[in-house]
Each structure stands twice: as structure tokens, then as C-alpha cells.
Amino acid sequence: MTKIGKDLALAKQLLQSGQLVAIPTETVYGLAANGLNPEAVARIFEAKNRPSFNPLILHVADTAHARALTSNFPPKAQLLADTFWPGPLTIVLPRHASVPDIVTGGLETVALRVPAHSLTLELLRSLPFPLAAPSANPSGYISPTQPLHVAEQLNDKVAYILDGGASSVGVESTIVMVKDDEVYLLRQGGISEETLMAVVGHIAHAPDAHNQPLAPGMLLNHYAPGKRVLLGNLSLLYGQHYHERVGVLAFKEPLPEVPLAQQRILSPKGDLAEAAANVFAYLRELDKLDIDLIIAEPVPHNGIGRAVNDRLQRASEK
């Protein structure tokens, strides 16, 4: 199994030589490569079996490094960066010519983020290049929130796994695009729409572009376990599938008809942040059980709950 550890010098050496290293962030673990080296970035797509038209996020140490990768960093982008970086917000901006096409999926924009994880920030500060780093999992599967998740899914496809513990946020970053003084929401994530609106005012919604996504995580069938996932009212779903071996992903309370060993409760106290932190890990645990399908219920659709519901909806599209 791929080695897991906290050796920053080794991680730096491997990345400089064009190899893949799994890195911790506050959202999920990323599969990182030199973001300015097309051959290294190509290894990400190969390891994940990721569609080549699906753009990647470049992770940088600070706003100054982000500016160097864009041709325009407008005032609203600066306001967002000042407010939310480091943190679970990705900003899509016009790309600089130095950013390879393979990173942007052929688009004229680039997705940028400063992650809020001390170990990865220290690594980024030591490198002369940004890190392209989508989630460290096979494309379309559940995102990893712990080092062992990466090892189980990718193993020898990654040279080293940098151990930063469990991800504290547990769902991917919110993605916005700043264009013509307008802020467009491209993906729900670790920062709620309400929180963004309190800073920049109006937020526009960009249409889902499933065939040519404008940002990572916009593909319709995404974040899915191997088992089939059905999303809706748990009692109704169980009534339709009681003759099958069912696993349950509930928000606050278990389903009485199903053995507790086949259930995972996102947050018994009804905390949406706790639900977000648990959703991928619990989907993964249910996927390993001897069951036929997973039934899941939406969480309250506000704040970070929108991001949880987005991930559950995309998991169920399979």
C-alpha cells in the first residue's frame, strides 16, 4: 500500500519530479501534481480515469500567487479572496497564458483556491508552482476525507499520501466565477450562498453545463458509490424496496424498519456542518456493506445543507 506520512520534504521532491501526491485540505483530500507541467497533470487524469474536458482547480499559497495565474483579478474577486481565503472557496477567473490547456479543460478560465490546511499551505509555500488537485478518488466516486480513503481507492497510482488527518469541512469547495462585475455560483460547497451574499450582494446562478462543465464537480453523475443510491423520503423508499437489502443514510433519526448496523446518521443533533463532514465517509461505509442499494434523505436545504443535497443528488443520478 502507498506510504502515508507527514514528510513534507518527500512530498515536495515527488511533486518536483512530476509524480502524484495526495494532499489534505479542509474540504477533501486532493490528488496533486505540478499544475504547470502538462505531463504531470495528465497523470492525474490517468489515475482518476477523469474526462479530459473536466477542468481542475489550481491550489496556491496566497492571493499573490493566484493573481499570477490570471489575466484579470477584478475587485469582487479581491473582496472574496480577502474574506474567504484560505478557505473552501474556489474562484474562476480569466486564465494567464502560463496555465496549460489540460488544467482548464480547454476553457479560457482557471479555477483557483487557497486551502485552509496548515500542512498543505506549508507545502505550497515551498513550491515554485501551483498544485492541480482534484479529489483523490476515481472519477465520479465518493470523495476521500481521510488518508486511508485515498489508499483504498488509488493505492499504487499515487506516490505518497500526506497525512493531515480527517478533513474538517468534508464537502468540496464552493465555486464561483467572477465576470463583468457579476458573481456566478457554479457549485455549492463549504461556504453557503447566504454567506457569499452577505459579502458581495447579488449572486447569479450559472446553468449546469454537464457536457462541458465550467468548473469541477458539475458533471451530473458524480460523487457516487458503487451501490445504487435513491434519494427521497426514507419511509416511502423503503416501502418500495423492502424486499431488497437496504442501507440507510439518514439526517437525524434512523429508520425503524432497518437494522441499525445498516444505517448511518449524518447528525443526530441536526447540525448541518456535522452532516457535511460525515456525508462522504458514511456513503463509503454503506457502500462496503452487504446490501443491494442505499436510500438517502435530503437534509434541510439551507446553508451548507445545499451542498450536502447537491452531492446526494449527483450520487443518486447513477
CATH number at residue 266: 3.40.50.11030
Q: Is residue 221 part of a domain?
A: no
Q: Is the pLDDT of residue 245 over 70?
A: yes
Tell whether the torsion through CA atoms of 129, 79, 122 and 125 is positive or negative: positive
Query: Is 194 within 8 Å of 113 (Cβ atoms)?
Result: no
- The phi, psi pair for 94, rounded to 5°, reads -60, 135
Tell me the pLDDT tens digit for each residue of 136-170.
999 888 999 999 999 999 989 999 999 999 999 99
pLDDT band at 311 (very low <50, low <70, confident <90, very high): confident
Same-domain check for residues 133 and 85: yes
Amino acid at 47: A
pLDDT band at 209 (very low <50, low <70, confident <90, very high): low
Q: Is residue 210 part of a domain?
A: no
> In this structure, are strands 204-205 and 89-94 parallel, antiparallel, or unpaired?
unpaired
> Please, how many CA atoms are within 13 Å of residue 246, restricted to the half-sphere of its CB?
24
- The phi, psi pair for 313, rounded to 5°, reads -65, -45
Same-domain check for residues 124 and 235: no
Question: Residue 170: left (phi > 0), alpha (psi -120 to 50), or beta?
Answer: left
Q: What is the pLDDT of residue 162?
A: 98
For residue 307 the three cell numbers come to 451542498
Domain of 252 in residue numbering reads as 228-316
Distance CA 24, CA 145 (A): 8
pTM of the entire predicted model: 0.85
Q: What is the pLDDT of residue 50?
A: 77
Q: Is residue 36 part of a domain?
A: yes
- The phi, psi pair for 112, rounded to 5°, reads -130, 145
Same-domain check for residues 189 and 242: no
pLDDT band at 180 (very low <50, low <70, confident <90, very high): confident
Distance CA 286, CA 80 (A): 37
Q: Average pLDDT, whole number, for the chain? A: 92
Cα Rg of the chain, angstroms: 19
Q: Is the pLDDT of residue 216 over 60?
A: yes
CATH number of the domain bearing residue 59: 3.90.870.10
Q: Above pLDDT 70, what percent of the chain?
A: 94
Distance CA 254, CA 261 (A): 10
pLDDT band at 211 (very low <50, low <70, confident <90, very high): low
The structural domain count of the chain equals 2
Q: Which residue has the higher pLDDT, 102 or 215?
A: 102
